[in-house]
Amino acid sequence: CRTVPHSGLPVCGTVRHHDGSRVPRAALTLIDVQGRQVGRGASGDDGRYALSAPGSGAYVLIAAAGGHQPQAVSVTVGDRPIELDVVLGGAGRLAGSVVTADGTPVRDAAVTLTDVRGEVVASTRSGREGGYVISELVAGEYTLAASAPAFRPAALPVSVQASRETRQDIELAGGAVLRGTVRAGGGRPVEDARVTLLDAAGNVVDTLTTGADGTFRFVDLSSGEYTVIAAGYPPVATVLQMAGGGRTERDLQLGHQD
CATH of the domain at 155: 2.60.40.1120
- Whether 225 shows a pLDDT value over 50: the answer reads yes
Say if 193 falls within a structural domain. Answer: yes
Q: Are residues 24 and 78 in the same domain?
A: yes
Q: Are residues 164 and 193 in the same domain?
A: no
Percent of the chain with pLDDT over 90: 47
Q: Are residues 82 and 137 in the same domain?
A: no
Question: Mean pLDDT throughout 194-200?
Answer: 89
Q: Are residues 78 and 13 in the same domain?
A: yes
Q: Are residues 15 and 68 in the same domain?
A: yes
Say if 54 falls within a structural domain. Answer: yes
Q: Are residues 97 and 152 in the same domain?
A: yes
**Banded pLDDT at 133 (limits 50, 70, 90):** very high
Q: Which residue has the higher pLDDT, 254 or 88?
A: 88
- Count of domains observed in the chain: 3
pLDDT, residue 161, reads: 84
pLDDT, residue 12, reads: 94
Q: Are residues 201 and 216 in the same domain?
A: yes
Question: Mean pLDDT throughout 85-98?
Answer: 88
Domain endpoint, select from 147, 174, 201: 174
pLDDT, residue 99, reads: 94
Say if 2 falls within a structural domain. Answer: no
Q: For residues 253 and 115, give the distance between their C-alpha atoms in angstroms, rounded to a whole number.
A: 51
pLDDT, residue 258, reads: 47
What lies within 8 Å, CB to CB, of 159 at 6+ separation is 140, 141, 142, 166
**Banded pLDDT at 244 (limits 50, 70, 90):** low
Q: Are residues 138 and 148 in the same domain?
A: yes
Domain endpoint, select from 144, 174, 204: 174
Question: Mean pLDDT throughout 25-45?
Answer: 94
- Whether 61 shows a pLDDT value over 90: the answer reads yes
The 10 Å Cβ neighbour count of residue 69 is 21
pLDDT, residue 256, reads: 47
Domain endpoint, select from 87, 104, 126: 87
Q: Are residues 98 and 164 in the same domain?
A: yes
Say if 126 falls within a structural domain. Answer: yes
Amino acid at 108: D
Lowest mean pLDDT of 123-127, 167-171, 207-211, 238-242, name the range: 238-242
Say if 113 falls within a structural domain. Answer: yes
Q: Which residue has the higher pLDDT, 234 or 175?
A: 175
Say if 3 falls within a structural domain. Answer: no
Say if 1 falls within a structural domain. Answer: no
pLDDT, residue 25, reads: 93
Question: Mean pLDDT throughout 20-38?
Answer: 93
Say if 258 falls within a structural domain. Answer: no
Q: Which residue has the higher pLDDT, 80 or 170?
A: 170
Q: Are residues 169 and 190 in the same domain?
A: no
Lowest mean pLDDT of 50-54, 142-146, 208-212, 221-225, name the range: 221-225
Q: Are residues 163 and 180 in the same domain?
A: no
Which CATH number does the domain housing residue 236 bear? Answer: 2.60.40.10
Instruction: State which residues form the domain around 151.
Output: 92-174
- Whether 185 shows a pLDDT value over 90: the answer reads no
- Whether 172 shows a pLDDT value over 70: the answer reads yes
pLDDT, residue 257, reads: 45
Q: Whole-structure pTM over 0.85, yes or no?
A: no
**Banded pLDDT at 6 (limits 50, 70, 90):** low
Q: Are residues 105 and 143 in the same domain?
A: yes
